Structure 1
Amino acid sequence: MPQVHSILFFGEVLPGHDVVTCRRQLQALLKCTPETMDGVFSGQRVSLRKGLGADDALHYQQRLAAIGLRTAIEPPLPSPLPLPQAPVAAPPAPAPEVAPIELMTCPACGEQQPRRTLCRACATDMPRYTASQAQRRQPDPEKGMAARPQGRADLAPPLAESGILGLGFRGRFGRRNFLLSGLLALGGTFALAVVALTLGAPGLLIGGLGLLVLAIYGTRGTVFRLHDLGLSGWWTVVTWIPYVGAVAALLLLVVPGQKGGNAWGGPARPVSALGLLGGLAATGAVAFFAFGMVGSQLPALEALPGLNGTTEAGKAAFAARYDAGRDRIVMYSLSTCGFCAEKRRQFDSMGVRYSEYIIDQDAAAEARLNDRLQRAGLGNGAIGTPIIEVNGTLLPNNPGFGEIGRHLSGATKG
């Protein structure tokens, strides 16, 4: 089985190179975050690449040396054997003895080659480099590497920075980012409730699809937080257990994550306190609006099939008491109201005779309605549409058929 090698780095750069420049070039090469580069240049043993063949390891080391990084190959590469020389035909006269080719090793990258001035691998001026090393009295690189403390884990290939928005599952979230993603998911849920109440039956379909997306997004935030703790994302299933999930979510909010890089990349850049406060304020505003609308539209839920078990019973009671010749029904609606369209469809399917005023298109009807609401003591607070008038009685907030039937003339159909 061929031997595999690793490229090791201890945060040192070659003479004549600037640490800042080398760090920037390495970050561009690896496409990683500044936080990840802090771990790379920490001075501890860092594995930049693993599982390389001899040729690939040598090529990668030469590439890093070109940007000024001093690296080592572990285990070291075997010294290449000198090339066999072609046989020389015996001359008529005795030929002088040919001296063997003198080999030398580059002190910067370790490339073994015939004696020369510039290294053929990293282009280092080898005599000057050797003299500079002697002047600075630096220890032997191999001994220095052996004396350095070993890191607890090799650095994994860096990943792209984890964004707050998205549906992917590769990345990490700190505590602030996890909290903000949870607030956004909660705010989105309230917004979908508003859409469902505003559009009626079509809003339920939109809300269902939106809830599916929000479920994926919320799971993503939990997975990212577990990655920050060095745990697999499959631990998310623990948060789905009743009571246990609440405790697990609380722990995810308070337990700090790993400071260095792990198998899921470097630590994510934490969101600012201002951004966190903005997310909290936006979620609170949407929740306030949604609760207000839900409170005003609770009676309207009876009009949605499947949401209220008494809907059919209410329709039956209405049909038994309704007399088209005696009962006067008026509907005040809005052109953009989904519940109004649903009530209109129900009235038409049941053969109900009614008058309709679209108050956002009829100013006179709106004025009359507001005056009647004030006189009936219904002018304060939010009122949902449609508003049904039954024999002179105003019933706001899209009343159900059971409520409408209680205000009919009471004549039973024979």
Structure 2
Amino acid sequence: MSDSRFKIVFDGALLPGVECTTAKLNLAELFKSDVEAIEKLFTGRPVALKRDLSRPDAETYLSALKNAGVDARIEAEQPVAFSLAETHETSSSASDFSHTSASPYAPPRAAVGDDLPEYSSLNVFTIHGRIGRLRYLAWMLVLSVAMLVASGIIATASFAVATASPTLGIILGSLLGFALFIVLTVVSVQIGVQRLHDLGWSGWLYLLNLVPLVNSIFPLLLLVLPGNPGANQYGAPPPRNSTAVKVLASLWLAFIPLMLILVLSLGMNGYLDQLEANVGSSYESSSVTSDDAIDQDVTVDEDDAQSADEAAEPVDSPEQ
């Protein structure tokens, strides 16, 4: 007696939270086909995507399909009847897409378990792929440290050149600084776009960072909002966070409060210095005003005394 065989059946159902368009795009990539051909699988009728599978192979195919966002199922194959009569499936409405068909709309037959990886690949220098919140923080921390190191090297080199030729040092520092700015901008955009892809959003939304007021809230959304748990239109989910990613993200999370405390401390010190300067200015102004008033009082007293002296002098009467 032969082992039991199984088939993969799909009737158009999707996993919770997966949009129909996303599932169709994932299946098109999975089957190496176009979306028009995949549309034929969403008629609502049961479709046998793959037949004559062992139980482990069927589980592999089912896992790949679930990563694509579709809710397929495994069913046992009907035993073959040794009869000259034509055999049929129990459900006459089920269509078989696992055999060669002359229809141009028949979906291709591909090794489903090998085409869609469980996790997406990681690459910093690209706008494709997906990264989660912790990896986004870790990569941004590394980028910030690289920026500080590169800035220090550029400043040192420019200063060394400026000792011999100030004009050449200024030109060299400006060119290297501009090149560093371009590189950092491009890499930060690539990292941000991958984070948006993990949310299922278009990378063009990263331009919201150029909008006033919005750019103060939008980066926080990238840090707070969780990504899609399964595959979306931008690919499979990112790999699990490694220990290095968790450590770097923790350092960045610890660095942010320290920066806030430092900024608040500097702001408070500046406010106190300004307040002290204002109080000192007010005190000096009041002192000057008091001195002027005293001087004026002394002058008035002297004038009064002089007037009194003049009034006290005898006046010679004219001879009669």
Which structure dedicates a bigger proportion of its chain to helix? 2
Which structure dedicates a bigger proportion of its chain to strand? 1
Q: Which has the higher contact order (CA 8 A, sep 6+)?
A: 2
TM-score (norm 2): 0.44
TM-score (norm 1): 0.35
